[in-house]
Structure 1
Amino acid sequence: MRAVPRPQTVEGLAALAAIAVILVAAVAIGLSPVRDRPLVAIGFLAVAVAAGGVLGAVVHARRARTRRVSQEHAGDAVGAWFSAPTLDGFPAEALAPLLPANNPPNLSRLQTAWVLATHGHDAVWLERHLGLPGNVARLLADTAHRRGASPMW
């Protein structure tokens, strides 16, 4: 897997480049003859605007590429967490009578709770963080524990 540079590094380099351009422009304007100073200042301003445009385009392209790559990897991760082996033993039939009639948790929330329970989260944690009814959270945690969940701590 290829390492992606941090956006902060690119932004830091851009800030250093901007400071360098400002310093060079200040020195060049100070050393130029008085009658040529406005022309030198306009020239440096034009160069700075062009460099900023190019830098902005490069940063935008890099962020778009990073976003696209991370979305591709996120899809892989979701598939790994919610595959047939991880959902093995999910107590769908036992959960059905425990779900409230009005506004029951959706299947993806229940499956998320199941995966977290198989990784050692207890019923209180599932109830608090996923907003599940207590009896549903207890059933998922107890079933996962009997299945052999690894403790979180």
Structure 2
Amino acid sequence: MKLFALLAAVALPVVAVAATNAVSLSSTVTTEKTVLTNGHPETVVSDAKHVVPGDRLILATNYRNVTTQPVVHFVVTNPVPNGVIFTGDSTPGAQVSVDGGRTFGALAALRIAVAGVAPRQAQATDVTHLRWTLPSIAPGASGSLKYRGIVR
């Protein structure tokens, strides 16, 4: 039951702001494992059909401008699923939130409130959401926004 709930959670709920009819979005979740092939380590990426704690994931949002006009200032926000810990690795340009998506910024600039003591520096494991702002998507153009996580 827990495995099914986690896979459902990592189905990547995506919030896109502006021009939602102009941009097609889809998501994928894959696992990344290191295996030995003839005694040499090799990275293998495959569909995340079954995951267990400690598995490394690549969570992606794929986008495509389906119109004949450029789409400007397109924002994609991805919540990090509860069963996943963000590793700090993402497509460049991502801003992060450590407060449930209320505020965003560079991880190094964010702080976590701690009762009775001074706020501490936010860490990758505190990230709850990632957000990218795409300045312009040309007609027919596509791309992918990714981040890595580890199954809790």
Normalising by the smaller structure, the TM-score range is: under 0.3
TM-score, normalised on structure 1?
Answer: 0.21
Larger Rg: 1
Higher relative contact order by CA 8 Å / sep ≥ 6: 1 or 2?
Answer: 2
TM-score, normalised on structure 2?
Answer: 0.21
Q: Greater helix share, 1 or 2? A: 1
Q: Greater strand share, 1 or 2? A: 2
